[in-house]
Amino acid sequence: MRAARALGPAAVAALIFCTGIGPARANTATEALPEAMAMLKHAVGIRTVEGERQVPVLAAYLAGKLKAAGFADGDVEIIPVDDTAALVARYRGTGGGRPILLSGHMDVVAAKREDWTRDPFTLVEENGYLYGRGVADMKAAAVVLVETLIRFKREGFTPRHDLILLLSGDEETAMASTRELAKRYHDAEFLLNADAGGGTLDAETGKPLLYQIQAAEKTYADFQIALTSPGGHSSEPGADNAIYRLARIIDRVAAHQFPTESNEITLASLRALGAHIPGPLGAAMTRFAAHPDDAAAAATISADPAYVGQIRTTCVATMLNGGHAVNALPQRASVNINCRIFPGTSVDSVRDTLVKVIDDKSASVTLQSTPPVANAASPLRPDVIAAVTAAVHQRFPGVDVVPSMSAGATDSKHFRNAGVPSYGIDAAFIKPDDTFAHGLNEKLPASEVEAGLEFWHRVLTQLAK
């Protein structure tokens, strides 16, 4: 049990004027845990996968919880977007400074009952883990954010900044609800995203290794390279064959390496990783962090698929199409090239590089339908770093807190694109291969729900006051 937070003068004032439910009082993470777990159980049971139209059901459920805790009707909004929805809840401050945004998503990746050991849409606790689709990505964290705002309401917390909770409804797929949220809520101090960053435990010992604040992510872009040839009967092959030419082009893309790049975030991240990773890889990271022009260090890092993306733009063939009949010469062949572009490098310049590399004037190189969302790295705000570090150290004193750049695409990219500095600060500490997010038998250490309640309460109390 942790000690209850002392009531400050603002909370005492709120005690007198509070119009919410019940008298304002401190409310510990331990006390809040049963309510959060009940919400999580209900949330996992709602199948918020693409196409099932269940995100609005979850949004309505969470909105009901917030209103029952004293949120005014006008401060809780469900925004329908196509067949999904976003949930917005505003916790009012005294109006000093712009709002602080809290981000997460309600949707989950599809899960088939027959593939899983347990029913993916029933929350199960076993051997210290919670199992269920979305427990790690990210219904537990979403519920923790909701519960944190409910605790603040009960405590009568009066921050300077408004806190605006923005839960999207299609982060895993089209991100249409995210775009809608970023369009409406970009006049903000900064955004804290519970869907990225977080702590890493040693795979064997379970000891905390480091905590990463995601402050940048790479730009995602798909290019289609397509070729045509006259075709004809396969018994009469000629010199021109679109499939042969495409194969040569793919070889050239495979052989091309984009130049090394770095920024303050990736250098700090590599410096910290270098201190924790044994052997030549860790040594190379340490050298690269000190001298980003060290070609030998770059070569060692680039040879590791987990880290090559930390020092370069990467482009890789992911899908292939060609021909129209087994007994006909191909009239068309194409390949999808998936690129993860370093912050600060333009999508156009990567396209230009691909055109040069493939060196075939007859090939078309086309950016695919979803427009890439370029996003610059967010500046490392000292107040955010300090508040997160204090909350991490309260649990694990002395653990390194380092900025990081992720290759995956989160909701944050739309907000960075709209000018809102965004930081991924998931509270959970997990082993590297622990969660199976998106995969089978998704799980989360059960300890991380209460830890999340403690973490978010500390971070927001510090940053919003």
Residues engaged in binding Zn ion (CB under 5 A)? 137-138, 195
Take residue 21 and report the two structure tokens written for it.
């439910």
- Residue 424 Cβ vs Zn ion, minimum distance, rounded to whole Å: 10
Closer of 195 and 450 to Zn ion (Cβ):
195
Take residue 112 and report the two structure tokens written for it.
């088939």
- Residue 171 Cβ vs Zn ion, minimum distance, rounded to whole Å: 6
Helix or strand or coil: residue 237?
A: coil
Distances in whole angstroms, Cα of residue 328 to Cα of each of 232, 235, 240, 307, 333: 6, 8, 13, 43, 13
Closer of 162 and 172 to Zn ion (Cβ):
172
**CA–CA separation, 202 and 22 (whole Å):** 44
Residue 41: burial class (beta carbons within 10 Å; 0-12, 13-18, 19+) = middle
- Residue 411 Cβ vs Zn ion, minimum distance, rounded to whole Å: 8
- Residue 138 Cβ vs Zn ion, minimum distance, rounded to whole Å: 5
Take residue 137 and report the two structure tokens written for it.
């990505």
Closer of 220 and 258 to Zn ion (Cβ):
220
Other residues' Cβ atoms within 10 Å of the Cβ of residue 73: 8
- Residue 196 Cβ vs Zn ion, minimum distance, rounded to whole Å: 8
Distances in whole angstroms, Cα of residue 451 to Cα of each of 104, 157, 175, 430, 447: 17, 20, 29, 12, 6
- Residue 140 Cβ vs Zn ion, minimum distance, rounded to whole Å: 11
**CA–CA separation, 237 and 349 (whole Å):** 37
Which amino acid appears at position 217 of this protein? E
Pairing of strands 124-126, 332-341: unpaired
- Residue 396 Cβ vs Zn ion, minimum distance, rounded to whole Å: 23
**CA–CA separation, 140 and 157 (whole Å):** 23
Closer of 106 and 138 to Zn ion (Cβ):
138
- Residue 105 Cβ vs Zn ion, minimum distance, rounded to whole Å: 6
Take residue 1 and report the two structure tokens written for it.
């049990």
Reply yes or no: is the peptide bond before residue 138 cis, omega within 30 of 0. yes
The CA dihedral of 199, 203, 204, 205, to the nearest 10 degrees, is 0
Closer of 302 and 422 to Zn ion (Cβ):
422
Sign of CA dihedral 353, 355, 360, 366: positive
**CA–CA separation, 412 and 429 (whole Å):** 21
Closer of 155 and 195 to Zn ion (Cβ):
195
Other residues' Cβ atoms within 10 Å of the Cβ of residue 65: 20
- Residue 95 Cβ vs Zn ion, minimum distance, rounded to whole Å: 32
Closer of 152 and 423 to Zn ion (Cβ):
423
Nearest alpha-carbon partner for 168 in 410, 378, 377 = 410
Closer of 240 and 434 to Zn ion (Cβ):
434
- Residue 456 Cβ vs Zn ion, minimum distance, rounded to whole Å: 16
